[in-house]
Chains A and B, each alone.
Chain A
Amino acid sequence: MLLHTDFDELSRADYAAAEYILGDCCRKFPTYSELSKRLADMYGASLYSRSTITWFEKRCTSLTGSVLDDRFALNGECLEAEMCDILCECLLNPNADGGSFDRQVTELQKTQLIDDIDSIINEKASYAAMRGNIAAFRGEPFELPITGTHEQAEAVTPESAYTAYERILKTARIEVLCAGASDFAEAEKIFTERLAALERGKVCELSKKPSALKDKPETFADTLPMQQAILRMYFKAPQLEDTYFAGTLLASILGGMTTSRFFLNIREKQSLCYYCSCVPNRILRTLIVYSGIEPQNIEHVKKAVLAELNNICENGVTEEELNAARLEMHNSLSSMNDNPMAMMNWYHNQIMDNKILTPEEYCAELDKVTSEHIRDAAHMYSLDTVYTLCSPDFNAEESTDGEEAAE
């Protein structure tokens, strides 16, 4: 179940706490332990909630259940129906009373939320992504982590989290996605009946907005005691069409596969890094390059990344590269049929599109892309932000162009 809501005056942490609580228990199973026992009885089913920022400028609360197919139940249990019922219980009948979540549950989830916010520093690549986003998406929804800050989480109360929950129920655009070996007739019946009882207000409207390009590229740097440095380069192309298939192939050829230019030229030929890849976002119209490198190679890798992009701007790509990228995408999209979560993400990301494409239709569009299209797409990308994270020992002696990232 995906619930899209607007950002409002309540803190991100209030919403995040509400989401944590919804995935942890409900009136029927008032503690995490009781819910976990029931899920274990259902052959180790899983249920979790998560907050994300959607590409559609909104926050998204997801409540996901995963359960064994009924045909494997040893005693003929209807596991699918029970999982749908538990999901509805968690969303519609939480462990709450009189406009407030249960205090003990809230305290536990608040602690968990604070731990999760703080622990991002444990994984350097995630920490670099968070800090890089602050610099690259200033003033946009993607600027800050969806779970909020440590301080916001400290201020969460059972009442403030419950208010966030009420707004989710009242205003969320709700999408229910099911995937797996079932016709989901029973699931459809349960969700339709249970969600029909909701009292609704003005429902959140989704929108698509590309990330704004800065007037000139900006550079930010942070330090942490670490051995490897991390470089993130944000390119933006607000004028690119969001269904521009050439953008997808450009990203593959630059840094999305094991024969990409970044892999072959920056890692293999020049031995400048262990990894250098990029990921495109068709709605934000961004291309984010990320690399793990020795600190003394930061400038070399920056130059090498720009040189590869410039090279495509000037010369386009070869037929061999284009074919490899197409084949790789075909393979990856065809494999999606075997992965229920990937299928759900695929269709969810298209809910705002005029025409929903199947993986096969998408592949057919990729086949129409030419080297010229890719060169045109490459021309549209401009460097927006450069972010580096590396050891303070290195920065103090070597770096000349860093400044502190904006808080």
Chain B
Amino acid sequence: MIEKIYDDVIKETCLKYVHESGVQVFMLPMAGYSTAVAQFSAKFGSLDNAFSVNGGELHKVPDGTAHYLEHKLFESEEKDAFKLFAQTGASCNAGTSFDYTQYYFACADNFRKNLEILLGFVQEPYFTPENVEKERGIIGQEITMYRDSPGWRVFTNMLEGLYSVNPVRNDIAGTVESIAEITEKTLYDCYNAYYNPANMFLCVAGNFDPDEVVSVCTEKLKNREPLNVKTAEFDEPHAVNQKRMELTMPVAKPLFEVGFKRPLVSGQEQLDEYIYFNILFDMIFGNVSEFFERMRDKGLINEQFSDGVFSGRDFCFPFARGESGDPDAVLAEMQNVLRTYKKTPPKREDFERIKRATYGSMVRSFTNADSVAGTLSDSALRGSSPFAVIDTAAAASYDKMIELLDGLDEENACISIVKGDN
């Protein structure tokens, strides 16, 4: 049965149904669009580095396994998925994050065929010692490419500084050493556990017929015995692991990224933190703020400075990043600003301005099939309504934001810096 979820804020309707296999399907048809985007995802990311099935023993897997599996799933005994998509013209790819792996295509024609290919190859793993070995060099090179990127290193170092045991501190792709331990058995073990239909979801947006999606799902999705897969839990301390991380690389001006560690929350509580800290940080540190203007006038930041909230399963915290000749001074000033606003709260008028801009950005994200599919996937991952983010933003209250500001510990922060060797 298809459930209709209507949103009064942006006047859109999302269709949801659960296939008998357990795969959750979310669809948002967009009238007047040419493109359709489909994303098929498993709740399996780099955070899942140890797990048990049906209460059995704990399996530990090397860092980078989810990403390695993503690379290998495109291959089959006969024709790999890229070649199949080449026969339809769709663009396809995949991505691994901390808490999910996603396979997707975008097409203007042949939607049905493309969906059949997508559901087909993701459900048909083909791992051999030879093809797993062949991929090791390619992934090794991908890892080294990211290690050459100061922007990526300043971010991953911040995660390492913030967290002591949370696996979000480990690089998604792993290391050259950790991927050396991955075998076809590792991949099959993880596939069989986490690519269970009950742990997967399909999100479709753009120009397509929902009945066709249901028909293809009926035809292609395989039923499998549900499993009770549990990722190992961890006990992350409240305090940051390191307050300061520093690395030397070829950069013109030091790059920095600051994260303010928060206690672990989930569900609507995490969504609230995501929206409210986005509004708060835009308001007090963003390009409309007195802080931004003052720091820019002093030459301590430039227009690269930005802020946001990084969130997913088992992590959610506000951050700011940029370039500065003196990153420590920027952090000190940010902490001052937070202390000051705790004593003298920011103006309501400024809150309303950013709330309105946030509403605009949410609406804009619903005008592109790619981003709509992404929004549906994010909400499926979180287990919330497809419109929960936009509804939370539209209903955001000043008092609730002040409450979260008061609870933010500005000292429990980590600054990561990448500086040049000059």
- Interface residue ranges, A against B (CB under 8 Å): 31-33, 36-37, 39-45, 68-69, 72, 74, 104, 108, 111-112, 115, 118-124, 224-228, 257-259, 263, 267-268, 271, 273-274, 292-294, 323-324, 326-332, 334-339
Contact at A118–B252, with CB atoms within 8 Å?
yes
A118 CB contact (under 8 Å) in B82, B86, B253, B293 = B253
Contact at A112–B356, with CB atoms within 8 Å?
no
CB distance from B107 to the nearest CB of A (A): 6
B361 within 8 A of A: yes
8 A Cβ contacts from B341-399 to A? 353-354, 356-361, 363-364, 367-369
Contact at B148–A226, with CB atoms within 8 Å?
yes
B210 within 8 A of A: no
* CB-defined contacts of B125 to chain A, threshold 8 Å: none
**Assuming the A-B contacts A43-B363, A228-B144, A331-B89, are A258 and B82 also in contact, with contact meaning beta carbons closer than 8 angstroms in the complex?**
yes
Q: Name the 4 nearest CB pairs between A and B, nearest first.
A: A43-B360, A327-B89, A44-B357, A334-B108
CB distance from A180 to the nearest CB of B (A): 9
A271 CB contact (under 8 Å) in B90, B134, B252, B357 = B134
With contacts A33-B293, A115-B304, A225-B249 known, what are 14 further pairs, Cβ within 8 A?
A36-B286, A36-B287, A41-B356, A41-B357, A118-B253, A119-B323, A122-B151, A258-B82, A267-B138, A273-B138, A332-B91, A334-B34, A335-B35, A338-B206
**Assuming the A-B contacts A44-B361, A115-B252, are A335 and B141 also in contact, with contact meaning beta carbons closer than 8 angstroms in the complex?**
no
Contact at B145–A45, with CB atoms within 8 Å?
no
Inter-chain contact total with CB atoms closer than 8 Å: 165
Main secondary structure of the interface of A (DSSP, over half): helix
CB distance from B86 to the nearest CB of A (A): 4
Q: How far is the CA of A395 from the CA of B89 in the complex (A)?
A: 41
- Interface residue ranges, B against A (CB under 8 Å): 10, 33-35, 82-83, 85-93, 106-109, 134-135, 137-138, 141-142, 144-145, 147-151, 206, 249-253, 255, 286-289, 292-293, 296-297, 299, 302-304, 323, 353-354, 356-361, 363-364, 367-369, 421
Q: How far is the CA of A268 from the CA of B137 in the complex (A)?
A: 10
B138 CB contact (under 8 Å) in A74, A274, A338 = A274
* CB-defined contacts of B145 to chain A, threshold 8 Å: 228, 274, 292
A119 CB contact (under 8 Å) in B249, B253, B364 = B253
A257 CB contact (under 8 Å) in B86, B249, B255, B292 = B86
CB distance from A38 to the nearest CB of B (A): 9
Contact at A33–B86, with CB atoms within 8 Å?
no
CB distance from B248 to the nearest CB of A (A): 9
Q: How far is the CA of A263 from the CA of B364 in the complex (A)?
A: 35
**Assuming the A-B contacts A119-B252, A119-B323, A324-B87, are A31 and B293 also in contact, with contact meaning beta carbons closer than 8 angstroms in the complex?**
yes
Contact at A331–B302, with CB atoms within 8 Å?
no
CB distance from B290 to the nearest CB of A (A): 8
5 A–B contacts from the bound complex (CB under 8 Å): A32-B296, A44-B361, A108-B297, A327-B88, A328-B91
Q: How far is the CA of A274 from the CA of B150 in the complex (A)?
A: 19
Contact at B357–A334, with CB atoms within 8 Å?
no
* CB-defined contacts of B137 to chain A, threshold 8 Å: 271
Contact at B360–A45, with CB atoms within 8 Å?
yes
Contact at B357–A43, with CB atoms within 8 Å?
yes
CB distance from A176 to the nearest CB of B (A): 22
Contact at A68–B252, with CB atoms within 8 Å?
no
Contact at B151–A123, with CB atoms within 8 Å?
yes
* CB-defined contacts of A273 to chain B, threshold 8 Å: 138, 141
Contact at A334–B288, with CB atoms within 8 Å?
no
**Assuming the A-B contacts A40-B288, A224-B250, A267-B138, are A330 and B293 also in contact, with contact meaning beta carbons closer than 8 angstroms in the complex?**
no
Contact at A271–B358, with CB atoms within 8 Å?
no
**Assuming the A-B contacts A40-B354, A108-B296, A228-B145, are A338 and B34 also in contact, with contact meaning beta carbons closer than 8 angstroms in the complex?**
yes
Contact at B149–A123, with CB atoms within 8 Å?
yes
* B354 nearest CB neighbor, chain A only: A40
Q: How far is the CA of A22 from the CA of B396 in the complex (A)?
A: 34
CB distance from B31 to the nearest CB of A (A): 12
* A334 nearest CB neighbor, chain B only: B108
* A332 nearest CB neighbor, chain B only: B91
**Assuming the A-B contacts A228-B148, A274-B142, are A330 and B304 also in contact, with contact meaning beta carbons closer than 8 angstroms in the complex?**
no
Contact at B85–A112, with CB atoms within 8 Å?
no
* CB-defined contacts of A41 to chain B, threshold 8 Å: 353, 356-357
* A297 nearest CB neighbor, chain B only: B141
Contact at B83–A259, with CB atoms within 8 Å?
yes
Q: How far is the CA of A104 from the CA of B108 in the complex (A)?
A: 50
* B420 nearest CB neighbor, chain A only: A121
* CB-defined contacts of A72 to chain B, threshold 8 Å: 10, 360, 363
* CB-defined contacts of A258 to chain B, threshold 8 Å: 82, 85-86, 92-93
Contact at B109–A334, with CB atoms within 8 Å?
yes
Contact at B108–A292, with CB atoms within 8 Å?
no
* A37 nearest CB neighbor, chain B only: B288
Contact at B86–A122, with CB atoms within 8 Å?
no
**Assuming the A-B contacts A32-B287, A330-B109, are A124 and B88 also in contact, with contact meaning beta carbons closer than 8 angstroms in the complex?**
no
* CB-defined contacts of A124 to chain B, threshold 8 Å: 148-149
* B325 nearest CB neighbor, chain A only: A115
* CB-defined contacts of B82 to chain A, threshold 8 Å: 258-259, 263
Q: How far is the CA of A29 from the CA of B116 in the complex (A)?
A: 53
Contact at A335–B108, with CB atoms within 8 Å?
yes
* CB-defined contacts of A294 to chain B, threshold 8 Å: 141, 144
CB distance from B352 to the nearest CB of A (A): 9
Contact at A328–B89, with CB atoms within 8 Å?
yes
* CB-defined contacts of A120 to chain B, threshold 8 Å: 252
Contact at A44–B149, with CB atoms within 8 Å?
no
**Assuming the A-B contacts A33-B292, A258-B85, A335-B106, are A225 and B250 also in contact, with contact meaning beta carbons closer than 8 angstroms in the complex?**
yes
